[in-house]
Structure 1
Amino acid sequence: MKQIKLFLYCFLLTPLVCMAQESNFSKDIKDYLEHNGTMRQYEYAYDQLMIMMEGNYPKSEDNKQGWTYLEENRGKALEEMKSLMVPIYQENFTHEEIKQMGAFYKTEAGVLLITDRSKMTDIHKEELNTFYNSVVGQKIISKKEVLISEISKVSESWSRQLYETSLRLLQNG
């Protein structure tokens, strides 16, 4: 009987624990993408696409539903992009490394690196150098080409789908 309980515990509860850990890993990656400035780039890209589309398809009664959809689903589209990047980071970094990366971007030096580098003091620059000279920092540098390649693929796909959806919604009114 103990063996059956142990068997059930191992094969029924272990996947739940793994899924919870994976969920935390995914959440930490998404948090990192918010803090390291990545999502700001996609927010900007989305907004620029909307500006371009408005130049080509000004808001009117005919395309009102399309514009409403695009405006209301901005967050969903950005969340989708973030979710597309999660597996890339999971394949290239451990959960602990992602936590360390996220922690750096929450420091004053990390925030200034993203928001206004001109305000970085020598101390901030020293913190930045220390981070990039650490094991995790060196791994980020060594993975740069792989990350650029993989993120470019999902980014291009996301952008294309967003453009095609926008075009379809606004052309057909």
Structure 2
Amino acid sequence: MKKIILLFLGLISGISVFSQTEAYSADVKQCLKSNGTYTYYESVFDACFSQIEAQYSKFGISSETWDELKSVKPEAMEDVSDKLVLAYQDYFNHDDVKRMNTLFASNTGQTMLSNPEALTKKDKKTIDEFYRSATGKKITKSQAGMQEKMQVISDFWCGEMYKTVNKKLEEKGYSVR
């Protein structure tokens, strides 16, 4: 009977940890969209893809084929978002991410990200208070490490995308080798 109870408790705690992990992941992904990181990686995807297109330009590959290959973008964006969630886990707990989301969702946060010159004195005070908080200090302290991790993620991700697209082009009979 003890084994059944322990198994049951283990199963329940596993489900709880899984749902907490899913909630954390969803909140980080929201943060990535709010703070512009997701948009940045969309531009990285587009730039990597443009490089691939330039490399294969001599083959006269149809626009339909390129559109087919570009259709991996949503999957690629989900992949990079998952990698970025892991980077965030190294620096921020769930409460930190929730606080960031609260700031980024506010008018002050949106103005800070889109047009910092338009910040009012009240906005600046709110932002200063945020960056004096424990979460704000973590953001400031982690900037160098996060930038380094994000560069590694970007390089690896773009390289993997290149290999995937290159393989698909080779399967269609195009090769730059």
Shorter-chain TM-score bucket reads 0.7 to 0.9
- Aligned pairs (5 A) from 1:22-171: 22-57=21-56, 62-64=61-63, 66-170=65-169
How far apart are 1:54 and its partner, in Å?
4.3
- How far apart are 1:47 and its partner, in Å? 2.3
Q: Identify if the C-alpha distance between structure 1 residues 157 and 57 changes in structure 2 by more than 3 Å, giving closer, same or farther.
A: same
Identical counterparts, % of pairs: 24
Post-superposition CA distance 1:41-95 (Å, at most 9, x none): 111222233444445545x874455412333221111111111111111121111
Say how many residue pairs are matched.
172
- Rate the CA distance shift 1:51–1:119 in 2: closer, same or farther, 3 A: farther
Q: Give 3-state SS (helix, strand or coil) of 1:143's partner.
A: helix
SS of 2:157's partner is: helix
Unaligned runs of 5+ in 1: none
Counterpart of 1:151 in structure 2: which amino acid?
Answer: M
Greater alpha carbon shift after TM alignment, 149-158 vs 69-78? 69-78
Aligned CA distance change for structure 1 residues 113 and 168 (closer, same or farther; 3 Å)? farther
Counterpart residue identity of residue 95, structure 2: E
> So what's the TM-score if we normalise by structure 2?
0.83
Cα RMSD (Å) of the superposition?
2.5
TM-score (norm 1): 0.85
CA distance in 2, matches of 1:52, 1:8: 53
- Does the Cα contact within 8 Å between 2:48 and 2:158 map onto a contact in 1? no
Contact 1:39 1:82 in 2 (8 A): yes
Report the AA paired with residue 114 of structure 1.
L
User: How many angstroms apart in 2 are the aligned matches of 1:54 and 1:8?
Assistant: 54
Structure 2 unmatched runs, 5+: none
